[in-house]
Amino acid sequence: MSLTIGRSLLLILFMLHVSVLSGIGNENDSSKKPSSHTLKLVQAVMCEDVKNQQPINPTLALSVSIGKAICFSSFESVTEKTYVVHKWIRKDVSVTKEKLFLQPPRWATFSRIHLREIDKGPWRVEISDSDGNILQILRFSITD
């Protein structure tokens, strides 16, 4: 009984955390298209690091001195093995594209790039499902 209550509390806390984080980054495009597999993106942020399946310091301006940029995304309704794509774009020029697999019960994933001086400037990451539907676009800058 106590175990059930504990699990329920943990789930509520997790949902609360997700709702707070999803409000961050209103510059990002919030229109999401439903996936053919009803994949639902619940959080997508740029962050400095990921620890314990959680993004550390979600931000819209990443300093090149950190040495890396991470795009963290988490989903719900992951009922079968599927994948999402993180497409990194600098000033309308595609830089890299990463295919990230989601496998029940795995619900969160992230991609990262290493930063160099020449990477400074405006960036965006397009998160799309396996059908190519763009779920969210994260806009951020790499700064000094």
Site residues (CB under 8 A) for another protein? 23-27, 29, 48-49, 51, 56-61, 63, 66, 89, 91-92, 120-122, 124, 137, 139, 141, 143-144
Residues in the chain: 144
**Shortest spacing between CB 61 and another protein, in angstroms:** 4
Based on CB atoms, which residue is closest to another protein, 24 or 42? 24
**Shortest spacing between CB 1 and another protein, in angstroms:** 33
Based on CB atoms, which residue is closest to another protein, 37 or 60? 60
Q: With CA atoms as reference, report the closest residue to 102 among 126, 129, 132, 125.
A: 129
Reported as type and span, the H/E element at residue 131 is none
Based on CB atoms, which residue is closest to another protein, 91 or 114? 91
**Shortest spacing between CB 109 and another protein, in angstroms:** 19
70-103 burial, b at 16+ Cβ within 10 Å, e below that, comes to bbbbbbeebeeebebbbbbbbeeeeeeebebebe
**Shortest spacing between CB 117 and another protein, in angstroms:** 13
Based on CB atoms, which residue is closest to another protein, 47 or 78? 47
CA angle 99, 104, 109 (to 5 degrees): 40
Helix residue ranges per DSSP H, the chain: 2-22
Six token digits for residue 3: 């175990």
